[in-house]
Amino acid sequence: MDGFLLSRAEHTVHATGTRRLFDDVPAATRALRRGDADLVVGALPFSPHRPVALAQPEDVDITDGPWQAPDDLTDLPRVRLSAELPLPRVHVERVRRLVEQLSLGEMEKVVLARRVALEVDEPLDPLALAARMIERHPDATTYALDLSAAGERYWGHTLVGASPELLVRRRGRTVTCRPLAGTAARHPDPEDDRRAGDELLSSAKNLTEHGYVVEWIRSRLTPLCSELRISDPELTATPDVWHLATSITGTLRDSDTDALTLARLLHPTPAVAGTPTAAALDVIARVEGDRRFYGGAVGWCDADGDGDWFVAIRCAELSSDGRRAVAWAGGGIVADSDPAAELDETSAKLRTLLGALGV
């Protein structure tokens, strides 16, 4: 796939071809401010120290409504789960060890993820997977993009997912964020499902975890905004999970602060890393290794500084031949986390991707 797709219920940005690649944010923002580029699309990796995957596209099609897949798009081939990394029992054990560490008070929260490896009988078209995810998750933001700009190890790889979480949106001087943190699995029985949502909304553990994220965003935006409005936490749902969500809206003091700069400033939030951030990132690197673009940010920024950036979750990275993929899911661990429940949370989140693939 040579291009970028970001599909929402309200509008779609579909870019094809490449005029220029950027492996760092300052180069991309300079091109936008100088008028050398009218649009930059792509992704930020999870680690702030890794190369980004940003590009100035050749052609851009912006339309109302969700992306309409072409009629000749291929069906999804059969996909097999080939490995769980680590095994579920190992993930439970490492959560247990992390809970012990957190109980000592050195950190407040660490987001710990696990991944699954997938094998495909025939090449998997990223846009075919995106079309399936749009169909299954119409309220999410579905994305598919080429990661080649991040360097040789990503050449020809694509990232495909359906994110429920807005990192940051900029329109003029108005900035909007809607972080998610705190999760409960959905249930097929309506009464059990309603009870799960109500319990999440009243959960001290999950409200505390959610509060870390809101406070992080508040601290980052306050110096940039003359006004900041923050709602109370509320419930939001995907077909697979309940989340706690908070709406944050601010007014920029400086109209030159663009959406890409804001995304870089806010990422990674405690929703995908933890708090304190530096300590959480160290733990993640030691326990998990490189998350690549899972937990990063996906979006676009135009020459006016406007743009949308979403947290790169509920996703998989596809190999260049389309025959292999890796999908991730994580959960925020705090001192009173239950290791078995944390494993269940990652399984529920993985259903967004695995369900679309029929796994």
Q: Does domain 3-357 have CATH number 3.40.50.920?
A: no
**257: nearest Cα among 227, 230, 221:** 221
Question: From start to end of the chain, where are the E strands?
Answer: 3-7, 11-22, 39-44, 53-64, 79-85, 109-120, 141-146, 158-163, 166-171, 174-178, 180-185, 225-230, 234-237, 241-245, 248-252, 274-275, 297-302, 307-311, 315-318, 324-333
Q: At 44, list the tokens.
A: 């930020």
How many CB atoms within 10 Å of residue 59? 10
Tell me how far apart the 2 most distant CA atoms of the chain are, in Å. Answer: 57
Q: Would you state the pLDDT for residue 10?
A: 93
Beta bridge partners of 185: 241
pLDDT block averages, 10 residues each, the chain of length 359: 92 95 92 95 95 96 94 88 96 96 91 96 94 94 95 95 97 97 90 94 91 94 95 92 95 96 96 94 95 97 97 97 96 92 93 91
d(CA 48, CA 70): 36
**102: nearest Cα among 89, 112, 115:** 112
Q: Residue 35 — φ and ψ, nearest 5°?
A: 80, 10
Beta bridge partners of 83: 117
Q: Would you state the pLDDT for residue 211?
A: 92
Helix 204-221 vs helix 259-266: angle between axes, to the nearest 10 degrees?
130
Q: Quick check: helix, strand or coil at residue 2?
A: coil
Q: Would you state the pLDDT for residue 106?
A: 82
Residue pointed to by tokens 């508040």: 218
d(CA 107, CA 265): 22
| Catalytic residue chosen out of the listed positions 100, 108, 109, 199 | 109
Task: Answer yes or no: 109 catalytic.
Answer: yes
Whether the CB-CB separation of 303 and 310 falls below 8 Å is answered with: no
Q: Would you state the pLDDT for residue 23?
A: 80
| Catalytic residue chosen out of the listed positions 58, 135, 165, 227 | 165
Q: Would you state the pLDDT for residue 359?
A: 87
**165: nearest Cα among 50, 68, 281, 246:** 246
Residue pointed to by tokens 């992306």: 67
Task: Answer yes or no: 100 catalytic.
Answer: no
Q: Would you state the pLDDT for residue 304?
A: 96
